[in-house]
Amino acid sequence: MERPLRVEVIAYAPTAFYHCLHCELVWREAGLGGSVRQEQMETGLPEDLQKAYQDLAAWIARLLALYCDRIAVKVVDAVSIEGWWKSLRYGARRYPAVIVEGQVFTGGDFAAAEAAIARRLGAPRAAA
């Protein structure tokens, strides 16, 4: 079996911050942990970035449905250390940035990225 095509995506991603396990237990028992997490997820990104992330997630879900185990997608938060490093390495200055075997597609150009994926993998297999 051949290895799946690795597709990396650098994007602004919703983030929730957590405390140490002991503190999280105290927050949860005090009844505050759930509401704090919900607020973080609701306010984690501005509305336009949240919409862009939802579009990205839908595109990735469609790719995984089309190519199944022939593709492996990794999403990296653009504001993380890894995201900063990969942005520098690939010269990505706009997000989301899709990287297919070193080729970079930025600014939400999913059609071009998908065409590159199709060239490498061929036609999607029919669902079983």
- Most confidently modeled range among 1-5, 6-10, 26-30: 6-10
Contact between 95 and 106 (Cβ < 8 Å): yes
| Boundaries of domain holding 103 | 5-15+46-121
Is residue 39 domain-resident? no
Amino acid identity of 10?
I
Q: Can you read off the two tokens belonging to residue 44?
A: 């984690």
Query: Shortest CA distance to 45 belongs to which of 18, 82, 13?
Result: 13
pLDDT in tens, 40-98: 666 666 788 778 888 999 999 999 999 989 999 999 999 899 999 999 999 999 999 99
36: in domain: no
Query: What is the CB neighbour count within 10 angstroms for residue 98?
Result: 29
Residue 51 is part of a domain; what is its CATH number?
3.40.30.10
pTM of the model: 0.75
The secondary structure of residue 79, as a DSSP letter, is T
CA angle 5, 68, 116 (to 5 degrees): 40
- Angle made by CA atoms 77, 78, 79, in degrees to the nearest 5: 90
38 lies in some domain: no
**Residue 20 within any structural domain of the chain:** no
Token pair of 30 as six digits: 């005090």
Give the number of domains in the chain. 1
